[in-house]
Amino acid sequence: MGSIDTPKNPENGSTTPPPTTDASATYDGDQKPTNGMPPRVTEMTLPVESEVVKKRKTSMLPLEVGTRVMCRWRDCKYHPVKVIERRKMQSGGTNDYEYYVHYTEFNRRLDEWVKLEQLDLDSVEAVVDEKVEDKVTSLKMTRHQKRKIDETHVEGHEELDAASLREHEEFTKVKNIATIELGRYEIETWYFSPFPPEYNDCLQLYFCEFCLNFMKRKEQLQRHMKKCDLKHPPGDEIYRSGTLSMFEIDGKKNKVYGQNLCYLAKLFLDHKTLYYDVDLFLFYVLCECDDRGCHMVGYFSKEKHSEESYNLACILTLPPYQRKGYGKFLIAFSYELSKKEGKVGTPERPLSDLGLLSYRGYWTRVLLDILKRHKGNISIKELSDMTAIKAEDILTTLQSLELIQYRKGQHVICADPKVLDRHLKAAGRGGLEVDVSKLIWTPYKEQG
């Protein structure tokens, strides 16, 4: 059994010196033991207790799925976790297991395999039946707290009923790929992705950054790179401004690339449904370009024909490129395409928590910027025509900012300049701007 890096205490005997027949080991000074109390009885008490503790800890092992315990994380502090899965180590004894844990304070993306020595067995809680636990917890919560928990629990899965949600979580509970290599980056993955069965035993995959083929070994990738003649995503380059390029890829013409992109994206998106039939989608891949080629930064996809006016199905900025304004750029780009089509657009529902945050920020900046510059009255319909943002999204955004009132049967926008400035400041920077003059694109039309 591995050691536990917690402060040592007398309970487990680790700080107690070896037993000795000297009376001073138990008594002060030259005090003699009282009648009927041989020294060895007292001297043996702590070692016996230590053996009991050791047996108790051993009897817990291996830990059951569902066990709650404290686990040492990468910050060297202990955090509460729940054991999601366990697996026997190839070399080891009866109780030598690794445990896949969920840090209950953090997002699922930080779930990971840990070794026994990272767990504080003194903090083990008994496995509680999930249904009973949920019932007890719900009784202790206020209505507001319960609503908050429910909203967090199903974020991104609002279209699933309770049974389907449990099935989804069971199927995707353990990350199958720990890291990937893509270009010059080695990236830790966040979530499960349903790669073909032959990749079940791989902890790391190696992607060609241009065609997105993936391999099990570094040597395979090196051999592939000598033969791969692509230096950018397949498809048409529809935008270039400075070192940024955007490529449009037709899922029907480049089916393997589209499927590989979906496998890659699922590693970083918990809520994404993986579509194997990519024929119905267009993929817009954003790249940073240099003398070595065009390197993928992120992408968004959209249906070729959407009954619900969706102008974006899925969006991802790869982890090495996050917090640089690329996500905002992708959202803005999707609306520029809608303007070219002469349509209003909206992202596909349900939105993830981060997705909603990003979109609400974009809608706020675009709408308030217009209201700030516009003189006189303006209607929601006019705002929608100017921005290609759907009227419902404009309404909910302005309502969340308390900038709209309902008077005499119609909605009235109340745009006080100081209030607009305050909201714009709270919305943050707009990120990279799309230079519309550099966009060369015609809307998709089905051939024939």
Domain containing residue 117: CATH number? 2.30.30.140
User: CB-based burial of residue 425 (10 Å sphere; 0-12 exposed, 13-18 middle, 19+ buried)?
Assistant: exposed
Looking at 107, 125, 143, the residue that finishes a domain is: 125
Active-site amino acid positions = 348
**Closest residue by Cα to residue 293 from 344, 349, 228:** 228
**Which ranges of the chain have pLDDT less than 50?**
1-46, 49, 131-159, 448
Phi and psi, residue 303, nearest 5°? -70, 145
Contact 123, 69 (CB under 8 A): yes
- Express each pLDDT in 205-251 by its tens digit: 999 999 999 999 999 999 999 999 999 999 999 999 999 999 999 99
In-domain check, residue 194:
no
Give 290's strand partners: 293
Domain containing residue 427: CATH number? 1.10.10.10
Contact 100, 174 (CB under 8 A): yes
> According to the model, what pLDDT value does residue 274 have?
59
Continuous H helices in 291-441: 326-341, 353-373, 380-387, 391-400, 417-427
Total tally of structural domains belonging to the chain? 2
> According to the model, what pLDDT value does residue 40 have?
43
- Express each pLDDT in 158-188 by its tens digit: 445 566 556 656 667 888 999 999 999 999 9
Distance between start and end Cα atoms, the chain:
69
Looking at 125, 144, 174, the residue that finishes a domain is: 125
> According to the model, what pLDDT value does residue 126 have?
67
* H, E, C per residue of 282-297: EEEEEEEEECCEEEEE
In-domain check, residue 81:
yes
> According to the model, what pLDDT value does residue 443 have?
94
> According to the model, what pLDDT value does residue 299 have?
97
CA distance 245 to 247: 7
What is the DSSP-derived secondary structure letter of residue 307?
A: T
Residue that the structure tokens 């020294």 belong to: 39
In-domain check, residue 319:
no
In-domain check, residue 192:
no
In-domain check, residue 171:
no
> According to the model, what pLDDT value does residue 87 have?
86
Q: Where are the beta strands (DSSP E) in 177-278?
A: 179-182, 185-188, 204-207, 214-215, 236-241, 244-250
In-domain check, residue 189:
no
Contact 363, 394 (CB under 8 A): yes
In-domain check, residue 14:
no
Its domain, for residue 410, covers: 353-435
> According to the model, what pLDDT value does residue 161 have?
57
> According to the model, what pLDDT value does residue 196 have?
93
Looking at 125, 157, 174, the residue that finishes a domain is: 125
In-domain check, residue 224:
no
pTM for the model stands at 0.74
